[in-house]
Chain A
Amino acid sequence: MTAPLTRRTLLATGLGALLAAPALGQDTTLRLAFIPQENPDKLLGDIEVITGWLSQELGVPVEGFVTIDHAAAVEALRNGDADISFMGALPFVLAEAEIGAVPLLSEVYRGEPYYTGRIFVRRDSGITSLADLEGRDIAFADPISESGYLYPLAEFQRAGLISGVEEADTFFGRIFFAGGYQQAMQAMAQGLVAAAGASQYADLLLTPEQQPQVTWIAESPRIPSHVVIARPGLDKGLRARFVETMMRLNDPVHRDMLQYLYGPDGYVRADPEAFDGVREMAREYGLLS
């Protein structure tokens, strides 16, 4: 029996391939693999705009396509179907280990190419230290989120409250993975759990009335923000021109374009050493050998 063709099955069976199967054999074409972070429908429109702009600025054809997930993007980079992709710091260090992906540009938010993870609590909870959370429930965003799990949890280890990740289950009452920053923060703000581990900016996801009602009691070291990466074999000249062009997005005249690229405030050239902490963290959690 054939399943009916719906928007959902399209996505699940490889919207990217259907949308813009990379045109092989065009050596001068730059191919960008995008991973949906929010609404794929919006992403499709965004890709059209940004690839159009990049084509015009670079003077070479630029194609974009949506991959189903990080693995598909990395696979596309590995086999040359994609030249460039956009991902978080953790997937990047894994891709780097797997296929030698090269970091080109880092996203800038509020003036910095990094952010942190925090442990948030309600001000009226009486919780003032990580130790106070022993036996209490906590919500994290997702088990593979840097700022929404890995880094905030590591703070408990740094504080000497747990000796390793495996002890988390016995330290806390219950650990929830709420599905995202906002869900984790709302669970905390509404009193469903005692604390939330999320990005340093996650309290801005609460209502203005809720924001003053929460505070944070621990903050992680810096986490590099999203990174634009390239496959290792991409022509160095084209790579350099791409970076130069992307840096022009920082100019006021081109800043509008940023909204079509996951919406950062700008870009800086990526510093490969900035990811040392992420590599270490990935090893610590057994994600990287």
Chain B
Amino acid sequence: MKFTVGLRMICIIASAAATLANGPALATPAKETPWLPEAAAYRLTLHYGNLAPVPWEKIEKAWTEPYRGAAFREGAIDRISDDSTLNTEAMEAAIDAQDRQALFAAATRLIAGRIEEQLDRAIAAETSGAAQTAVLEAQELYRAFADHVTAADPEAAREIGMAWLELSSATGSSGVLGTGAAPRNTERMEAARRVISSFLAANYLPDSFGRRATLSAIPETVAASDRVVDLPATLPPGSDIFDQDPLPLLVLNFEEQGIDEKDLPLIAYGDMLFDSPEIFGDPARSNGIACSTCHNRSDINQRFFIPGVSHQPGAADVDGGFFNPMFNDRRADSLDIPSLRGLRFTGPYGRDGRFASLRDFSRNVIVNEFGGAEPTPFMLDALVAYMTEFDFLPNSMVTPEGALTEAAPEAAQRGEEIFNRPMAGLADRSCAGCHIPSANFLNRRAHDIGSASGAYDGSRAGAFDTPTLLGTAYTAPYFHDGSLPTLASVVDWFNDAKSLGLTEQERSDLTAYLETVGAADEPYEAFGERNTPFRLAFEELTTFASTLDTLLPARDAKHTRLLIDTVAADLSADAGTMANQSARPEIYRLANILFDVGEAVRDDDWAAAERHWASFKVEAEAIDERVY
């Protein structure tokens, strides 16, 4: 399983140039440019406004609070009231009235108005530095519209792009420490500004907007033409689909036995699918979301967060309105992402154990939750073959039968007795009654322990599958909704909810026991000079590609193309993470050879495909030696 799918999100990184400083302070490599609060609030408004039901509370917060992970301390409305003469009343009224169209119109005008305001400042600025600051901020505000303009009207996007270049260049330079100053060219600035302003007037500040079925920032002139626009699938500001850091260690059964994955083509193909956004539909596919995005290295991803999808980091509502509207259950029921370690022992599947079969569960994820096309039987076989290789993390403090070893701390030894002690609050059963130590600390049954409130009076919908305790020291938070932050809080919850009457010492010992059972000898991948993130990715991708040794002779065009679409794109994307940046072109060349294999297969030229594949193997081997 690969781990760098999050790289597809790198598109938002940007210059270290000051977006707000009075004149740029360039010198350092690359840094992420934060979304300005107003632009972020606008994009979040479009995102939330397209969900059903519309989460109005979240829209309000998008304008009043800093977005998640924001580099700014203030929300959009505060920033506007500090820095602008524009008022936000129309927009706030639209939110209060829950009027989606009025909100779109008011928010769009607000952003366009803010851009105009900054352009006014740029023209009126007394110094080049101040003008440059205003232009950069105007451009950052325009970012709220930019990608939709490019998709809807490439000619206009080009014209506006040139106008921004002209405007920026014409601001001149304040120089540095009194030297190197260049004068402003006001005439050029005003000419460029006129281009931008007339575009904004026609498209983002019209007297009225046509009704928008789907909220987007496409220009009004395009929207009015009813032309269908293929908008890029993007995630809203505040999203985080990068891999967890530190990266969980992947323990594969065959690998621990010294079997090379390249000799297991079905498993290697399943490994590729686990990492392939291509098996999902949009918006997951275009945003690079794969199984491994949430289940990093078979475990979890504690940082995964998408506004409107996740109620907190590490959680997702996979049957909401974002991924597959057809499967939208219209219930805000975001769940904590579960670990897949030891998957072959942890059925049934789903938080409430609704799927007895891992194969059925996987199909449901692909087709219903993420809107993908119907997988072939081979794909499902491969995925299941791969996922059932996930093993628990080795833990020298627990025997395979679930007893503590001498390596376990004393407090845990005391806790083991409490764990196995029948208690009245548990109907004279013990914790071990459900979390059976000799059965990987689970019992494969669903129980209602009172951790969820019923959805309606008389509902019996609060039963959840008993989770294993193995590896849980690294999978906080806990419970189906991630409502408990620590294992100690889990113990406290049971003590209170089930009136267990445990003393403070007993709770501490029981916690120590859970932490010991949930521990691992090596929970995380250890990177070093040789084992770099890129090397790991490179080896995994070339392993995936090795299934071509099976697919090409079988003339399996469909699965070959799927593999190439995944691996070649990821190879290119991963090149950006190489420590040895000068070797990046070699990786791009390698990816191109793989694309050539795909092209040949599309042309039904299997001999050419075989030739390209042979050349890929030679190059990959050479690169393996050279590039690190």
- Listed stretches B209-217, B337-345, B380-388, B571-579; interface member: B571-579
Chain A residues within 8 Å of chain B by Cβ, number: 80
A285 touches B26 (CB 8 A): no
A220 at the interface (CB under 8 A from B): no
Instruction: Kindly state the separation between the CA atoms of A5 and B15 in the bound complex, as whole angstroms.
Output: 30
Instruction: Kindly state the separation between the CA atoms of A109 and B27 in the bound complex, as whole angstroms.
Output: 12
Majority DSSP secondary structure for residues of B touching A: mixed
A95 touches B25 (CB 8 A): no
A139 at the interface (CB under 8 A from B): yes
A192 touches B162 (CB 8 A): yes
Among B11, B83, B165, max chain A CB count under 10 A is at B165
Instruction: Kindly state the separation between the CA atoms of A156 and B182 in the bound complex, as whole angstroms.
Output: 21
Residue of B nearest to A263 (CB): B31
- Listed stretches B71-79, B311-319, B450-458, B481-489; interface member: B71-79
Instruction: Kindly state the separation between the CA atoms of A186 and B164 in the bound complex, as whole angstroms.
Output: 12
**Which of B26, B177, B572, B588 contacts A141, CB < 8 Å?**
B26
Q: Smallest Cβ distance from A197 to chain B, in angstroms?
A: 11
Q: Smallest Cβ distance from A211 to chain B, in angstroms?
A: 6
B83 touches A139 (CB 8 A): no
Given A71-B177, A208-B11: A176 and B161 interface contact (C-beta under 8 Å): no
Instruction: Kindly state the separation between the CA atoms of A202 and B22 in the bound complex, as whole angstroms.
Output: 22
Given A37-B28, A74-B177: A182 and B169 interface contact (C-beta under 8 Å): no
Instruction: Kindly state the separation between the CA atoms of A212 and B7 in the bound complex, as whole angstroms.
Output: 14
Which residues of chain B come closer than 8 Å to A143, judged between CB atoms? 173, 175, 180, 182
B53 at the interface (CB under 8 A from A): no
Number of A-B contacts (CB under 8 A): 232
Which residues of chain B come closer than 8 Å to A68, judged between CB atoms? 22
A180 touches B576 (CB 8 A): no
Give residues of chain B (23-80) contacting chain A, Cβ–Cβ below 8 Å: 23-31, 33-34, 71-74, 79
B8 at the interface (CB under 8 A from A): yes
Instruction: Kindly state the separation between the CA atoms of A145 and B23 in the bound complex, as whole angstroms.
Output: 11
Q: Smallest Cβ distance from B481 to chain A, in angstroms?
A: 29
Among B29, B72, B135, max chain A CB count under 10 A is at B29
B22 touches A180 (CB 8 A): no
Residue of B nearest to A8 (CB): B83
B22 touches A226 (CB 8 A): no
Residue of B nearest to A149 (CB): B26
B18 at the interface (CB under 8 A from A): yes
A262 at the interface (CB under 8 A from B): yes
B501 at the interface (CB under 8 A from A): no
Q: Smallest Cβ distance from B114 to chain A, in angstroms?
A: 13
**Which of A8, A94, A141, A175 contacts B17, CB < 8 Å?**
A141
Instruction: Kindly state the separation between the CA atoms of A147 and B15 in the bound complex, as whole angstroms.
Output: 12
A179 touches B591 (CB 8 A): no
B579 touches A287 (CB 8 A): no
B20 touches A36 (CB 8 A): yes
**Which of B14, B83, B158 contacts A6, CB < 8 Å?**
B83
A275 at the interface (CB under 8 A from B): no
Which residues of chain A come closer than 8 Å to B598, judged between CB atoms? none
B581 at the interface (CB under 8 A from A): yes
B548 at the interface (CB under 8 A from A): no
Q: Smallest Cβ distance from A123 to chain B, in angstroms?
A: 9
**Which of B8, B29, B161 contacts A201, CB < 8 Å?**
B29
Which residues of chain B come closer than 8 Å to A88, judged between CB atoms? 25-28
Among A115, A143, A192, max chain B CB count under 10 A is at A143
Which residues of chain B come closer than 8 Å to A98, judged between CB atoms? 177
B19 touches A208 (CB 8 A): no
B129 at the interface (CB under 8 A from A): yes
Q: Smallest Cβ distance from B445 to chain A, in angstroms?
A: 42
Which residues of chain A come closer than 8 Å to B29, judged between CB atoms? 109-110, 115, 199-201, 204, 225
Which residues of chain B come closer than 8 Å to A36, judged between CB atoms? 18, 20-22, 25
Residue of B nearest to A45 (CB): B73
B503 at the interface (CB under 8 A from A): no
B107 at the interface (CB under 8 A from A): no
Q: Smallest Cβ distance from B86 to chain A, in angstroms?
A: 13
**Which of B11, B34, B165, B579 contacts A39, CB < 8 Å?**
B34
A179 touches B177 (CB 8 A): no
Residue of A nearest to B23 (CB): A69
**Which of B21, B22, B158, B179 contacts A38, CB < 8 Å?**
B21
Given A182-B15, A182-B33: A87 and B26 interface contact (C-beta under 8 Å): no
B621 at the interface (CB under 8 A from A): no
A178 touches B169 (CB 8 A): yes
Instruction: Kindly state the separation between the CA atoms of A6 and B86 in the bound complex, as whole angstroms.
Output: 13
Q: Smallest Cβ distance from B195 to chain A, in angstroms?
A: 13
A179 touches B132 (CB 8 A): yes
Which residues of chain A come closer than 8 Å to B20, judged between CB atoms? 11, 36, 38-40
Give residues of chain A (119-164) contacting chain B, Cβ–Cβ below 8 Å: 139, 141-148
Residue of A nearest to B177 (CB): A94
Residue of B nearest to A91 (CB): B176
A285 touches B180 (CB 8 A): yes
B93 at the interface (CB under 8 A from A): no
A180 touches B24 (CB 8 A): yes
A228 at the interface (CB under 8 A from B): no
B158 touches A145 (CB 8 A): no
A110 touches B579 (CB 8 A): yes
B16 at the interface (CB under 8 A from A): yes
Residue of A nearest to B161 (CB): A192
Instruction: Kindly state the separation between the CA atoms of A110 and B577 in the bound complex, as whole angstroms.
Output: 10
A38 touches B72 (CB 8 A): no
A26 at the interface (CB under 8 A from B): no
A273 at the interface (CB under 8 A from B): no
B377 at the interface (CB under 8 A from A): no
A39 touches B71 (CB 8 A): yes
Residue of B nearest to A5 (CB): B82
B15 touches A181 (CB 8 A): yes
Q: Smallest Cβ distance from A37 to chain B, in angstroms?
A: 5
Q: Smallest Cβ distance from B10 to chain A, in angstroms?
A: 6
Instruction: Kindly state the separation between the CA atoms of A35 and B22 in the bound complex, as whole angstroms.
Output: 10
Among A7, A148, A183, max chain B CB count under 10 A is at A183
A237 at the interface (CB under 8 A from B): no
Instruction: Kindly state the separation between the CA atoms of A11 and B576 in the bound complex, as whole angstroms.
Output: 36
Given A70-B177, A91-B177: A182 and B14 interface contact (C-beta under 8 Å): yes
Instruction: Kindly state the separation between the CA atoms of A208 and B34 in the bound complex, as whole angstroms.
Output: 18
B-contact 0/1 string along A235-268, CB 8 Å cutoff? 0000000000000000000000000001110000
B375 at the interface (CB under 8 A from A): no
Which residues of chain B come closer than 8 Å to A208, judged between CB atoms? 7-8, 10-11, 569, 572-573, 576
Q: Smallest Cβ distance from B285 to chain A, in angstroms?
A: 14
B28 touches A179 (CB 8 A): no
Q: Smallest Cβ distance from A261 to chain B, in angstroms?
A: 11
18 A-B residue contacts at CB 8 Å? A6-B83, A37-B17, A37-B21, A38-B33, A39-B72, A41-B73, A71-B176, A88-B25, A175-B169, A179-B132, A181-B30, A187-B165, A192-B161, A199-B30, A205-B15, A206-B11, A212-B591, A287-B176
Q: Which 5 A-B pairs have the closest CB atoms?
A: A180-B17, A88-B27, A180-B15, A207-B11, A182-B15
